[in-house]
Structure 1
Amino acid sequence: MAKVGIVMGSDSDMPVMAKAADILEKLGIDYEMTIISAHREPDVFFEYAKSAEVKGFKVIIAGAGMAAHLPGMCAAIFPMPVIGIPMHTTSLGGRDSLYSIVQMPSGIPVATVAINGGANAGLLAAKILATSDDAILQKLKEYSKELKEQVQAKDARLQEVGYQNY
């Protein structure tokens, strides 16, 4: 049963949302990915958000651009955590999306990652699940160790060849 719902407003969001899915796959967390437009098919959206808890979702990651209402509307209906990913836009560089997601009214929180922050959204979902799942917690610790080792390897190379040859 999927623990995380990944939902986006358009297939143009796929490259960013795929980064969230990649992290969840790496950590062995089941998810379901869907494209739903809150504005163009509100009936489909409402059914998705209303049924998410019954489907077993513990977290929803919702990505949207421009007038980014998808994450906030998920949070208004789904009783558990929602993570919003603001999409970069050509007109306002994603600030429109960021403000639409982060500026939620009191009582309807949406955890918001950086513009195009798909990987961090996946990691935040995993961290939320890890509060009650020791296996996920262990995988997150291993992931952090891998990140540390990557930085150490880069520094070792820098020390060996110098910045001019890096």
Structure 2
Amino acid sequence: MSAKVGIVMGSDSDLAVMSKAADVLEELGVEFEMTIISAHREPDVFFEYAKSAESKGWKVIIAGAGMAAHLPGMCAAIFPMPVIGVPMHTTSLGGRDSLYSIVQMPSGIPVATVAINGGANAGILAAKILATSDEALLGRLKAYSEKMKDQVVEKAKKLDEVGYKNYTKG
């Protein structure tokens, strides 16, 4: 099976967030490729990446970027299928700079955008996009949602049993 999702980030400092997308995709059985490309420092490499994504069979690109955050928008300008932007938290403006850069795309070049540092949600959204034409993946997504529900039920049960003062102690 070939990769269906490309995961790209502008810096290795984004890896902790973007690895959450990879973890979700891996758990759901979705093949992906991950790399680091700076749209500003190596534009030729970036353009080749975005231009070749369709021929590689990718259906979605997840692009994470901070500060000026051009990577997701530029992917969307070149790649004809969905792009999910992950704005990164930044020290100067807390990630709002990244968020605004990704969501304020011109008409005709949309980028689906998740929360600041929302790598896991980007992975889930990519899987949901793919699941529109993949019944097996849809089933795995439903099971994933059920697992999340069960985790909340267990946490509520623990809180009820130990009380709020002891909940975080053990």
TM-score (norm 1): 0.98
**Alpha-carbon separation, structure 1, partners of 2:159 and 2:10:** 42
Q: CA-to-partner distance for each residue in 1:62-95, whole Å, 9 max, x for gaps?
A: 0000000000000000000000000000001001
Corresponding position of 2:166:
165
**Alpha-carbon separation, structure 1, partners of 2:135 and 2:39:** 35
1:143 correspondence with 2:144: yes
1:160 Cα deviation (Å)?
Answer: 1.6
Alignment of 1:4-43 (within 5 A): 4-43=5-44
1:110 Cα deviation (Å)?
Answer: 0.0
1:159 Cα deviation (Å)?
Answer: 1.6
Alignment of 1:106-117 (within 5 A): 106-117=107-118
SS at match of 1:66: coil
**Alpha-carbon separation, structure 1, partners of 2:9 and 2:164:** 41
Amino acid at match of 2:71: L
Corresponding position of 2:132:
131
1:2 Cα deviation (Å)?
Answer: 0.4
Amino acid at match of 1:69: H
Amino acid at match of 2:28: L
SS at match of 1:48: helix
1:52 Cα deviation (Å)?
Answer: 0.1
1:63 correspondence with 2:73: no
1:164 Cα deviation (Å)?
Answer: 2.5
Amino acid at match of 1:148: K
1:162 Cα deviation (Å)?
Answer: 2.0
Corresponding position of 1:103:
104
Root-mean-square deviation (CA, aligned residues, Å) is: 0.6
**Alpha-carbon separation, structure 1, partners of 2:97 and 2:24:** 26
**Alpha-carbon separation, structure 2, partners of 1:16 and 1:154:** 24
**Alpha-carbon separation, structure 1, partners of 2:136 and 2:95:** 35
1:107 Cα deviation (Å)?
Answer: 0.3
Amino acid at match of 2:55: V
1:48 correspondence with 2:88: no
Q: CA-to-partner distance for each residue in 1:27-47, whole Å, 9 max, x for gaps?
A: 010000011111111111111
Query: Where do 5+ consecutive residues of structure 1 fail to align?
Result: none
Corresponding position of 1:82:
83
Q: CA-to-partner distance for each residue in 1:136-156, whole Å, 9 max, x for gaps?
A: 100100000001100111111
State percent identity of aligned pairs: 83
